[in-house]
Structure 1
Amino acid sequence: MKKWMMIVMLCCVVLIGCSEKTYEPREIVSETDVCKICNMSIVHNAYAGQIALKNGDYEIFDDIGCLMEYIEANGEDEVGAAYIKDAAKDEWIDVFEAVYVYNKDYWTPMNYGVVAFDTKEAAQEWMSTEGDGQLLTYTDLHDFKWGIHE
């Protein structure tokens, strides 16, 4: 009987170890969180981003441009998940699935002028009230000319 219990427990441990890990965004703590790239405090949570690394650590960013700089420098191999705040809803959305809008006149913490949305329709609605912009995908962000735009 003990032998069977040990086998069942061992199988459970193996199955748990083989299951796919899920990642969730964590809350930003403005008093202590600073951007991994520019070292600015995360004062404007509505523009914040974060990466959940496969090892369980989180990297926090004050702007999508800083998050992309981190990915460009470190690659995506250790990224378990990445999140950015939806500009219309102030909710975490998947960086890789988000729709982005660039307008040099949009204010963001690092003046990149790029904001994120969960759908193309939400992005277009934003542009109808905040000013036209250029629609971008995550792939477009890799070729985007980051930096302070004039």
Structure 2
Amino acid sequence: MKKVFLFVFASILISSCSIESKPINYGTDACDFCKMSIVDQIHGAEIVTSKGKVYKFDAIECMINYSNEMSKEQPQLFLTNHYHTPKELINAETASFLISENLPSPMGEFITAFENESLAQEAQKKHDGKVYTWKALVEQQSK
């Protein structure tokens, strides 16, 4: 009996610290930064900490602002929805971003994620704006 209890306890402990995203429940979940409902399926985002805690956001700029204020917890993953496959979360650190006033976002910063640079550049031709890497976007938003 003790072995079964230890196995169950160890399994719960291991699974509770997994580093993975959780689905955003659009229309139900609230942004951990601005507290607005997350309804836009193109601009949602998540941070997963090194302890497996998931924070959800209605916009990329909310995720960046929240990460700048995090003191104790270490972000492990930055994830974002993207333009071509709404609801799908991709790694923000490998995505490309377009800031274009012709592509509105929930918080008015006009930031939209794309799976890669060529897709962002293609959208830039259509919508104008400027393309950023994750690192450049974080630097630009932190000014």
Please indicate the TM-score interval, normalised by the length of the shorter structure: 0.7 to 0.9
Question: What secondary structure is seen at the aligned counterpart in 2 of 1:23?
Answer: coil
Report the equivalent of 1:108. 105
State the percentage of identical aligned residues: 24
Report the equivalent of 2:3. none
The 5 A counterparts of 1:92-103 are 92-103=89-100
Structure 2: unaligned runs, 5 residues or longer:
1-9
Q: What is the alpha-carbon root mean square deviation over aligned residues? A: 2.7
Instruction: Tell whether 2:110 aligns with 1:119.
Output: no
Q: How many residues align?
A: 132
Question: What secondary structure is seen at the aligned counterpart in 1 of 2:42?
Answer: helix
Q: Does the 8 Å contact 2:124/2:131 carry over to 1?
A: no
Residue of 78, 84, 87 corresponding to 2:74: 78
Query: Residue deviations 1:22-66, cap 9 Å, x none?
Result: 633221112431001110000112210001122222100000000
Q: Does the 8 Å contact 1:68/1:141 carry over to 2?
A: no
Q: What TM-score, normalized to structure 2? A: 0.78
Residue of 22, 32, 37 corresponding to 2:33: 37
Q: What TM-score, normalized to structure 1? A: 0.75
Structure 2 CA distance for aligned equivalents of residues 106 and 33 of structure 1: 23
Structure 1: unaligned runs, 5 residues or longer:
1-12
Task: Please state how far the C-alpha of 1:145 moved relative to its aligned partner.
Answer: 4.3
**Greater gyration radius:** 1
Q: Does the 8 Å contact 2:42/2:112 carry over to 1?
A: no
Residue of 63, 66, 69 corresponding to 1:67: 63
Q: Does the 8 Å contact 2:28/2:37 carry over to 1?
A: yes
Report the equivalent of 1:135. 131
